[in-house]
Structure 1
Amino acid sequence: MDELYFLTSKDARRMLLLRERIRLNLDLRKTSRVWEIRREGDEFVFPDGTRVSKEVVERIARDEGGVYFVRGGVYKAAIAGEGFYKLVPTIPPTIEINGIRMHRTKEVNPLQDTRNKVDAVKPKEGETVLDTCMGLGYTAIEASKRGAYVITIEKDPNVIELAKINPWSRELFTGGKIQVIHGDAFDVVKRFKDESFNVVIHDPPRFSLAGQLYSEEFYRELFRILKPGGRLFHYVGNPGKKYRRKDLQKGVMERLRRAGFVGVKRVEEALGVVARKPEKKGKS
């Protein structure tokens, strides 16, 4: 695959100041590596020879909410279809779908948000983890870095396409310890054998978009595929709680208990709930 060079508005503004050449990080700070860009008149020449006009760089400089990549031309990391999807230049990037961001970006950055979720269930070396809703794959990648084998599910092909572009998602497709399944988690989990996973990390879209992933029926499937003693983290967030006195977490916890889970409790720093499947009788 050809190398992609990424630009944000901040990068573009720096480019416009240069007279001859500049060294910039062009992988959205995934690494500390820098590349050299030359300026020849009103054109900027990238390491692969791609020439980008000053006018295009000026347009990028004005778009503070976008991510662009260079490969023979300049493209915005965005997809317009039934909705509008784009990478947002947080570090690491998140996806914005119709104006809604997939990660927390105010109190914590997306990487810390991910680590809070994974820390709630602490995957171990050699364990098998199910990540029900892949997104950009940060949860799957973080779990795999801790030695787990990860199966991750993503329903939306547009999200998968942006993950393939995003340098922070590269390990999803190159690491060998992560299997990506394209499908609806509600249906896919029914195909897994009983007691297949040590850990399930369930980070679904908001309830209004994917209510079936908050149902007792789905929780019973998660219970079935967990090994005895297996751990579950369920991201819930707190939508509506501040304004409508609605406690979505409470309803989730009640349904998890009815599905058979024990040790159900809130994890405030991760805005979610943890639970576990009881050990088999005769074991502590």
Structure 2
Amino acid sequence: MEEVYFLTYGDAMRLLLTRGGARLNLDLHKTGRSWLILRDEDEFIFPDGTRVSTREVERIARDRGNLYFVKAGGVYKAAIASQEGFYKLVPTIPPTIEINGIRMHRTKDTPPLRDTLSKVDAVKPRDGETVLDTCMGLGYTAIEASKRGAYVITIEKDPHVLELARINPWSRELFTGGKIQIIQGDSFEVVRKFNDETFDVVIHDPPRFSLAGHLYGEEFYRELYRVLKPGGRLFHYVGNPGKKYRRKDLQKGVMERLRRVGFTGIKKVGEALGVVAGKPVRGR
């Protein structure tokens, strides 16, 4: 696998302040490793031999809102412009994805990793269990569940999100861990193909309602209930419970629809901005 070296605006500023070179962490602090970057007149030489001009590094140092990476002789912005919209990795640690200005993780008061932990902790996957992660994104939820010993099936609809996940060092375990299976497709359609009572845990973290309303509907919840084992647990991220969507209490509506399809023990999880529910054990 080709080495990918990430640069934030802060890293670029440090390079510009050096004369002969500097040691920097170039994997967004996924590890404590450092790499030596040498300075040669008006160029910086990266470990794979790529030469980056001082002018290019100055441009990166002025750009606080984007991430850049060096790979195979070139410098690239960690972003994709397409007919579907504009996608980019945001320089939080770990990164989040921003799609058309909307971030996938809470970042204002909660770092993305803490956001992930609060969701996974709500249902506490255990060693040997099988987890369905309905909306992969950068895969932090799937990775965290697999670290706890679970086998994870995760679904991602958007090929551009998958492309950014492949270059993000914090998503690497998605493709190398061996306990995570990625399915590309719309969760609404993919979940229908699973057998009854396949999963011990479902973590449902959909895009906001305005972008994926079909993933908040009773028909989809019925499918989640079907594929969950008796005694299984569901976490459903809803978003800020203090906000209303078109004058409707979204969280209240979610809880009512979950109840109608058979879920029990439904309650709010404030820290994770969602709700948990369970599928009752037969005979109880």
Using the size of structure 2 for normalisation, the TM-score is 0.97
AA aligned opposite 2:274: G
Which ranges of structure 1 fall in alignment gaps of 5 or more residues?
A: none
RMSD of the TM alignment (CA)? 1.2
Which ranges of structure 2 fall in alignment gaps of 5 or more residues?
A: none
AA aligned opposite 2:63: D
Q: What is the match of residue 80 of structure 1?
A: 81
Query: How far did residue 246 of structure 1 move?
Result: 4.0
Alpha-carbon distance in structure 2 between the residues aligned to 1:49 and 1:278 = 59
Note if contact 1:198-1:231 (Cα within 8 Å) is conserved in structure 2.
Answer: yes
Which one of 178, 181, 194 corresponds to residue 180 of structure 2? 178
Q: What is the match of residue 61 of structure 2?
A: 61
Q: What is the match of residue 2 of structure 1?
A: 2
Note if contact 1:238-1:248 (Cα within 8 Å) is conserved in structure 2.
Answer: no
Query: How far did residue 117 of structure 1 move?
Result: 0.1
Alpha-carbon distance in structure 2 between the residues aligned to 1:263 and 1:222 = 16
Which runs of structure 2 are paired with 1:259-278 in the superposition (5 Å)?
Answer: 259-278=261-280
Q: Deviations over 1:85-117 (max 9, x none)?
A: 000010000000001100000111000000000
Q: Deviations over 1:41-82 (max 9, x none)?
A: 010000000000001001100110111110111001100002
Count, aligned residues: 282
AA aligned opposite 2:267: K
2:255 equivalent to 1:253: yes
Three-state SS of the structure 2 residue aligned to 1:96 is strand
Three-state SS of the structure 2 residue aligned to 1:136 is coil
Alpha-carbon distance in structure 1 between the residues aligned to 2:48 and 2:147 = 32
Alpha-carbon distance in structure 1 between the residues aligned to 2:30 and 2:249 = 37
Note if contact 2:125-2:148 (Cα within 8 Å) is conserved in structure 1.
Answer: yes
Q: Deviations over 1:6-44 (max 9, x none)?
A: 000000000000000100000000001000000000100
Note if contact 1:30-1:167 (Cα within 8 Å) is conserved in structure 2.
Answer: yes
Three-state SS of the structure 1 residue aligned to 2:256 is helix
Alpha-carbon distance in structure 2 between the residues aligned to 1:64 and 1:245 = 36
Identity %: 79
Q: What is the match of residue 124 of structure 1?
A: 126
AA aligned opposite 1:280: R
Query: How far did residue 240 of structure 1 move?
Result: 7.2
Three-state SS of the structure 2 residue aligned to 1:212 is helix
Note if contact 2:5-2:27 (Cα within 8 Å) is conserved in structure 1.
Answer: yes
Three-state SS of the structure 2 residue aligned to 1:104 is coil
Note if contact 2:241-2:273 (Cα within 8 Å) is conserved in structure 1.
Answer: no
